[in-house]
Amino acid sequence: MVNTILILSYCFLILSILGTLYRLVKGPSAPDRVQALDALGINIISGIAIFSVSSRNTGFFEVILLIGILSFIGTIAFSRYIERGVVIERGQPK
């Protein structure tokens, strides 16, 4: 029962990854791609979670947390880049 659910979720996950990949490749604009990358990160989180369950392994939970953080930071950085042209602004000149 559990196995069936896991495999089913894998299939859906793969479908959604393919979908986001299509968006990542196709574009058409940079924000679309950033969105796709963010979604891809979340898909990967779920993929690793399902994998951890199916392989009865707790060693990858840290990876899940990390991807969450990185995906967030990355999306923020991209957004700032698209919005203002720079990621880290210089301090105010005194």
**Which residues of the chain form contacts with other proteins (CB under 8 A)?**
10, 14, 17-18, 21, 24-25, 27, 30, 33, 37, 40-41, 44, 47-48, 51, 55, 57, 59-60, 62-63, 66-67, 70, 73-74, 77-78, 81, 85-87
State the sign of the Cα–Cα–Cα–Cα dihedral 40, 41, 43, 44: positive
78-81: long-range contacts, CB 8 A cutoff, minimum separation 24: 78/30, 78/34, 78/37, 79/34
Nearer to other proteins, 1 or 49 (CB): 49
Nearer to other proteins, 85 or 93 (CB): 85
Q: Where are the alpha helices (DSSP H) in the chain?
A: 2-26, 30-54, 61-84
Nearer to other proteins, 5 or 27 (CB): 27
